[in-house]
């Protein structure tokens, strides 16, 4: 299944963050390390953006919309939330 973004949205792929090395501190089992405010994503498709597909960009984490259709999860973000491109 595939979707086509519209209305200045980008279809993006979330880039998994690397786990940092273990430290000597004991933390509760359910502790989740705070996530950064911004995230690097890969542009898969767009509605009318000038970015080539495959580029990596930085966007605010809270602006990414997660859409689940059946067993597939898609991530969309509006074009105007791109803060920077990564080369």
Entry field: residues in the chain:
87
Tell me: the pLDDT tens digits for 15-56?
876 555 566 777 788 877 777 899 999 998 888 766 666 789
Report the alpha-carbon angle 51-57-60, nearest 5.
125
Phi-psi category of residue 54: left, alpha or beta, with phi > 0 → left and psi -120 to 50 → alpha: left
Cβ proximity of 18 and 35 under 8 Å: no
Question: Phi and psi dihedrals of 66, rounded to 5?
Answer: -100, 125
pLDDT at 18: 59
pLDDT at 85: 87
């Amino acid at each position: 299944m595939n979707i086509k973004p519209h209305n200045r949205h980008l279809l993006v792929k979330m880039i998994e963050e690397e786990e940092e090395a273990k430290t000597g501190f004991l933390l509760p089992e359910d502790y989740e390390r705070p996530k950064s405010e911004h995230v690097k994503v890969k542009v898969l498709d767009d509605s009318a953006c000038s970015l080539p597909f495959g580029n990596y960009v930085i966007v605010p984490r809270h602006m990414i919309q997660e859409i689940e259709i059946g067993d597939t999860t898609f991530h969309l973000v509006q074009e105007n939330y791109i803060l920077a491109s990564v080369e």
